[in-house]
Chains A and B, each alone.
Chain A
Amino acid sequence: MSDIQESTGRRRLTRGGFLGASAAAFGGIALAGCGSTKRRASHVLGAVKTRASKTDVDGFVRLSQLVAGVEKLPREHAAAYLNALDAAGLELSPLHLVQMGGFADGSGPKTLDELQQSAFYRKPGARKSAEAVASVWWSGMVPTAKGDKVVTFLDALAWRAQPWAEPFTECLGATGAWAKPGRI
C-alpha cells in the first residue's frame, strides 16, 4: 500500500471513486454546465447564520489572506467559514486567532512569517486552527458534526491554483482546447 493510502486509510474503490469525507446533502445552488465564470461570485450554498460580528469577519478575512495565500478572497463566504470553524470544536477557534492576533483591528501580522513567529501562534491549537482556515478557503468545504459540508463549489480557491483549467463541470473552451499547453 502506498504512503498516501496509508495516511488516509483508503480502501478498495471503483472507477472514479475516492474516499473523501462522508457525503451530505446541502442547500441549493445556481449553476450551468457551460456557464460564464463571472457568475461564480453569486454561488453561495445555503443560508448562513452569522454569529461573528462584522469586525470579527473582517479580521477573519485578514487572517485568511495570510494563511490561504490569496489576496482577493470571495468574502461572501467568510462568515460561513468562520462560523463553521468556530463550531467545529477545534482546540483553538479561528475567532480566538482573530482576536488574539490583532486581526480584528488590523494591528496584527501582515505576513504569514510574522504570524508564524508571533507568540500567540505558539499557543496550543493555533497552528492547526490556521491550517483549518486555509483548508476551508481552498476547498470550499467546512467540517460539521455530520461530516464535511460544501459552502461553495465554484469559489473554492483550489480552482485558482490551476489557471490552465476550469472547475470540472465548467466548459474549458472550444473542442480541443486541452491539446495546447496550459499556463501556470
Chain B
Amino acid sequence: MSDEIRADVIVVGAGISGALAATELARQGVKVAMLEAGPRVNRAEAVQTQRQSTIRGLPEAAYPDVPYAPRPQTLDPKFYYVQDGPENFGSIYERRVGGTTWHWLGTTLRLQPHDFKLHSTYGVGVDWPIAYDELEPWYVKAEHEIGVSGVDSPDLGAPRSAPYPMPPIPQSYLDQQWSNAAKKIGLRVVSTPQGRNSVPRDGRPACCGNNNCIPICPIGAKYDGSVHVAKAEKLGVQIVSPAIVRSVEVTNSGVTVEFLRPDGSRNTATAKTLVLAAHAIETPKLMLLSKGSAHPRGLGNDHDLVGRYLMDHPTQLSWALSPMPVYPYRGPLATSGIEMLRDGDFRRKRGAFRIEIGNDGWSWPVGDQPTQAAEQAKSGDIGKQGFTDLRNRLARHVRLASLVEPLPDSENRVQLADEVDAMGIPRPRLSYRTGDYAMAGLRKAIETHQRLFEALGATEIHHWDGPQGAGHVMGTCRMGSDPSSSVVDAQLRVHGKPNCFVLGSSVYPSVGTANPTLTIGALALRAVPTIKASLAG
C-alpha cells in the first residue's frame, strides 16, 4: 500500500487542537489532511472493552493497545516511556482519532490573568508572550465550539466577555454537603464549568449522569475531539488513520511528511504548511526525529529547547468517610471545586492549586465499587450485615484532589530513547522531577484537605503519600518571543519556520492551575488566521 497525500495544510494528530484547527481551516476553504497514528474509536465497543476490564477506572481502560501506535500505561510507567528519573512521569495520553479528550474529565476552566504573567507578577517562572485579554475572545469561541455548561458569575478569576453557551451542570448533592463544610473554614465551593451538555446541543444529548467521564462518556454528552474530527470530515478534510508519522522536513517552499502504515509501508504527504498537534510527548519526539537538511538538529531545535520544560499538575489525592450519607457515584465525576486558592502573593514561594471535589467516591484511590466489595468480603465482613456495611460505607465516600502548579524546569524533558517501538521508532525518554515549588503546594493542599475533612466531620482520612499525575502533559515546545529561549512564537509558529505550527499544551510556558483543554482549544483557534495566512506567503 502506498499513499500520496497532497494538501494545503497537513495536520499531524487528530486530537482536539488538530481537529479544531482543521475544521476552522476547512470552513475557510483550505484543503486539509489530518494524519493520526492511532485507530478510530467506536464508542459502544469502547464501553464494552471497559466493562470487560478488571481495572475499569483507568483512563485507558476503554482503549485497547495497538502495537503500531503504543501509548503510556498507568500501572506500568515504563511500558512506553523510558523513564530516566529522578521520578517517574505518571501522566498518560492517547494515540487515536479524537485523542486524549476521549478520557478527559471535561473541566473547562480558563487560566487567570496572572497565570500569563507569573514572572512579572510574582518573580518566579516565566511570562507568556500573550496576555489574558488577547486570548479571551478565543476562550469564548472555544467554549462555543466545545459546548461548555457553566455559571457566568462569579467568573472564577477569569473575566468574561460573553456568557456560557449552556446553563450549568447541576452540582451534586455531595457538593452541597461540601459547600456547607467549606463555609465553616472560609472556603467556597463553586460550580465547575464543563465541556458536557446540560441540554441537548450540537447533535449530542444532555448528560444523564453515567459517572463514567473517565474513561469514556457512553452517550457522547461530554465533548471529545471526535466531535470536530467528524465536522472536519464533513467539510472535506481527509483523515488518514492509522498513519504513523516518522519524520517531517520543513522548508520555506513546503513540507514533506513521511509516514508509515501499520504494515510498515512508507508513504509521503506534502503541503505548503505543517501543523504539529500530537500532544506534548509525541510532538517534540517527532520534532527531534526530524533531522533533515533544513533542520539538522531537529525541527525547531536550534537551541536545544525542543522537549524541555515538561510539566504536569502534580495532584494531591485525599479521601475519607463522611459522617452522613452523601450519595456519591452519581453524575459527572466532578461538578464542583474550590477555585479561590488559584492566585495570590503566596505564588512567590509555592504553587497555587485548585481543589476538585469528586463525585466518584473512592474509585480513584481504592478502586471501583465491585473491587471495593471484593476487598471487604475478603476481610471477612460478609453476609447480610456485611452487605449493609458495604452500602453504608459506599454512601459516605468522599474524595478531594488538588491540582498543583509547578514551575517550568529545563531538566524536565522529552528526548529520544535508544529503545524503539514495534515500528522501529524511538520511544520517548523522560526526565522528570516534581520540584520544590510544587511540593510546597502539595503540602499546603494536604493541610487544606485535612481542614475540609475536619469541617465535614469526616473519619478514616487518607492523604496519598506523594503526587499523582493529573493526566495533563504540558510544556516541551514552549511559546515565547525570544528564539533562544522558546520553540514557537506567540502565533505558535516554530521560530524561523513561517509555515510550521505547533498546537496543544506543549506550547505552554507555564501552566497555572486550570485543566488545560479549554486553553488548548482557544490557542488552536487563535492560531488559525496565521496558519491560513502562511499559505499566501
Write the residues of chain A forming the contact surface with B, with a CB cutoff of 8 angstroms: 1-5, 8, 10, 12-29, 31-34, 45, 66-70, 112, 127, 130-132, 134-136, 138-141, 147-150, 153-154, 156-159, 161-166, 168-182, 184
28 chain-A/chain-B pairs, Cβ below 8 angstroms = A13-B468, A14-B471, A15-B59, A15-B214, A15-B468, A20-B55, A20-B367, A29-B51, A32-B44, A66-B383, A131-B378, A134-B386, A135-B377, A136-B374, A141-B370, A150-B51, A159-B369, A159-B370, A162-B394, A168-B212, A169-B50, A175-B206, A177-B330, A178-B327, A182-B330, A182-B395, A184-B325, A184-B395
Nearest CB on B from A132, distance (A): 7
Contact (A23, B54) CB under 8 Å given A164-B395, A165-B329: yes
Nearest CB on B from A174, distance (A): 7
Nearest CB on B from A104, distance (A): 20
Check A179–B75 contact: CB distance below 8 A.
no
The 8 A-B pairs at the shortest CB distance, nearest first, are namely A33-B218, A178-B331, A172-B209, A182-B327, A176-B170, A69-B387, A138-B373, A14-B469
Write the residues of chain B forming the contact surface with A, with a CB cutoff of 8 angstroms: 43-44, 47-48, 50-59, 61, 74-75, 77, 88, 90-92, 103, 105, 169-173, 176, 198-199, 206-212, 214-215, 217-219, 315, 325, 327-332, 335, 359, 363-380, 382-388, 390-392, 394-395, 401, 462-471
Check B212–A178 contact: CB distance below 8 A.
no
Specify which of A1, A45, A176 lies most central, judged by the most chain B CB atoms within 10 Å of its CB.
A176
Cα-based distance from A163 to B329 in the complex (angstroms): 11
Nearest CB on A from B192, distance (A): 13
Other-chain contact of A134, B57, B315, B382, B467 (Cβ < 8 Å): B382
Cα-based distance from A126 to B214 in the complex (angstroms): 39
Other-chain contact of A165, B88, B103, B208, B327 (Cβ < 8 Å): B327
CB-defined contacts of B327 to chain A, threshold 8 Å: 164-165, 178, 181-182
CB-defined contacts of A8 to chain B, threshold 8 Å: 375
Check A5–B464 contact: CB distance below 8 A.
yes
Cα-based distance from A163 to B366 in the complex (angstroms): 21
Cα-based distance from A163 to B215 in the complex (angstroms): 23
A2 nearest in chain B by CB position: B462
CB-defined contacts of B386 to chain A, threshold 8 Å: 69, 134
Check A171–B74 contact: CB distance below 8 A.
no
Cα-based distance from A130 to B380 in the complex (angstroms): 9
Q: Is the interface of B mostly helix, strand, loop or mixed?
A: loop
Check B210–A33 contact: CB distance below 8 A.
yes
Check A178–B370 contact: CB distance below 8 A.
no
Specify which of A23, A156, A164, A175 lies most central, judged by the most chain B CB atoms within 10 Å of its CB.
A175
Cα-based distance from A27 to B53 in the complex (angstroms): 11
CB-defined contacts of B173 to chain A, threshold 8 Å: 178-182
CB-defined contacts of B210 to chain A, threshold 8 Å: 33-34, 166, 168-172
Check A150–B52 contact: CB distance below 8 A.
yes
Specify which of A17, A28, A170, A184 lies most central, judged by the most chain B CB atoms within 10 Å of its CB.
A17
Nearest CB on A from B169, distance (A): 7
Check B51–A16 contact: CB distance below 8 A.
no
Nearest CB on B from A120, distance (A): 17
CB-defined contacts of B465 to chain A, threshold 8 Å: 1-2, 5
Nearest CB on B from A138, distance (A): 4
CB-defined contacts of A34 to chain B, threshold 8 Å: 208, 210, 218-219
Check B212–A18 contact: CB distance below 8 A.
no
Contact (A17, B47) CB under 8 Å given A138-B377, A169-B218, A170-B210: no
Specify which of B363, B373, B378 lies most central, judged by the most chain A CB atoms within 10 Å of its CB.
B373
Check B374–A17 contact: CB distance below 8 A.
no
Cα-based distance from A67 to B366 in the complex (angstroms): 23
Nearest CB on A from B200, distance (A): 10
Nearest CB on A from B317, distance (A): 8
